[in-house]
Amino acid sequence: MTQTRQTTIGKRISLQGVGLHSGRFTSMTLIPAGAYQGIVFVRSDITRGNKIIPARWDRVVDTRLCTAIGNEDGMTIGTIEHLMSALCGCGVDNVIIEIDGPEVPVMDGSAIPFVEAIEEAGIKALAAPRRAIKVLREVSVEQEGKRASLKPALGSIYGGEIEFDHAEIGHQTFKTQLLNGNFRHDIAQARTFGFLHEVEYLRAQGLALGGSMDNAIVLGGDKIMNPEGLRFTDEFIRHKLLDAIGDLYLAGAPIIGEYHGVKAGHALNNALLHALFESEDNWVWAETRDASATKGEEDMLLVA
C-alpha cells in the first residue's frame, strides 16, 4: 500500500550497545514524534548548551569511515548511517532519538536489529501528507576514480559497484528498489566490513575501538575471519548500499530517483546531496497524490 501520510513509530524503542569507533557503551531511545519534526538526535548525556542535532545533510561534520553530524555548539553524534538506513527502509519520517553518548550503537554491524525493533514498535500514520524529494535531472560527483550520481526515476532505486583486491570481494554489483519490503530482504542484514591489517592503524586514529567479529566482517589474508561466514555472497556491496541509503536519508525525506555509486563512500554520498541541493532545477518536493505525476508514477511515490 502506498504511504500517503507522514509516519512515526508506534511506541518508544530502547536499545543498547557498543559504538563501533568509540568503543563506548551507550543507551538509545527512539521516541514517537509529530509531523514535520523529521529525525532529530538528542544527546541526553549533555547538561549544558544545545544538545539537539537534526539529522540533515548540512549538519554532517565527519565522514571518516562513518557519518557524523553536529550542531553549532560542537555536539556530535557518529555512526548514524545504519540507523538512518533502517528508518528510511521502514518508512519512518519523524522520530526523536535520545542517546547518552557520542555514537549510535553498532549492534551486529547491519541495520536488521533496528528494523526488527521498528517492526515490533509498529508504524503510526500522522495527519500530514508524506513528501518526497523528486530528482528532476541527473547530478553527479567524482573524486579519485570514485563516483556517485542521482538521476530521475519512478521509484527509490539504489545501485552500485565496488572493487577490492581481495579474493572474497573482487568486483561486486547490486541494485534494489525500496518497494514492498525489499530493504529488509535485500539490504538490512548486510554487515559492515574491514581488513585485519588496517585495525592497528584505525585504532591509533581513535577509530574501530569497538569493532569485533560480533559486529563486522573481518577480512584477513585471503579469507573471512568470521566463523559463520557471509550472509550473502555479495554482502559487501549490499552493505555499501545500506550506507548510501542512510547517508541520503539525511536529505530530509525519501528520494524519488536512482542512486548509483562506484566505489562510493560517506564523503561522496554527502557531496552528492550538496550537489543536488545546489540548484532548485535539480529537484522538487512531491507528494503521493502529486497532480503532476502519471498514474504509474504516482503509485511508485513514497513507498520506501
Among 130, 149, 175, residue at a domain's last position: 130
Active site includes 266? Answer: yes
pLDDT in tens, 125-159: 999 999 999 999 999 999 999 999 999 999 999 99
pLDDT in tens, 254-275: 999 999 999 999 999 999 999 9
Q: Which residue has the cell 553527479?
A: 140
Q: In angstroms, rounded to a whole number, what is the distance separating the alpha carbons of residues 172 and 37?
A: 38
- List Cβ neighbours of 12 (8 Å cut-off, separation of 6 or more): 29, 30, 31, 32, 121
Q: In angstroms, rounded to a whole number, what is the distance separating the alpha carbons of residues 245 and 174?
A: 13
Catalytic hit among 21, 82, 239, 266: 266
List beta partners, residue 143. Answer: 146
pLDDT band at 109 (very low <50, low <70, confident <90, very high): very high
Among 104, 130, 156, residue at a domain's last position: 130
pLDDT in tens, 148-191: 999 999 999 999 999 999 999 999 999 999 999 999 999 999 99
pTM: 0.93
Q: How many domains are there within the chain?
A: 2
Cα→Cα distances 256→73, 95, 134, 198, Å: 33, 21, 5, 37
Taking residues 230-256, what's their average pLDDT?
98
Domain ranges, residue 102: 5-130
Q: Are residues 45 and 92 in the same domain?
A: yes
Q: Are residues 45 and 159 in the same domain?
A: no
Q: Which residue has the cell 566505489?
A: 263
Q: Are residues 139 and 279 in the same domain?
A: yes
pLDDT band at 2 (very low <50, low <70, confident <90, very high): low
Mean pLDDT of the chain: 92
State residue 110's pLDDT score.
Answer: 98
State residue 203's pLDDT score.
Answer: 76
Q: Are residues 161 and 184 in the same domain?
A: yes
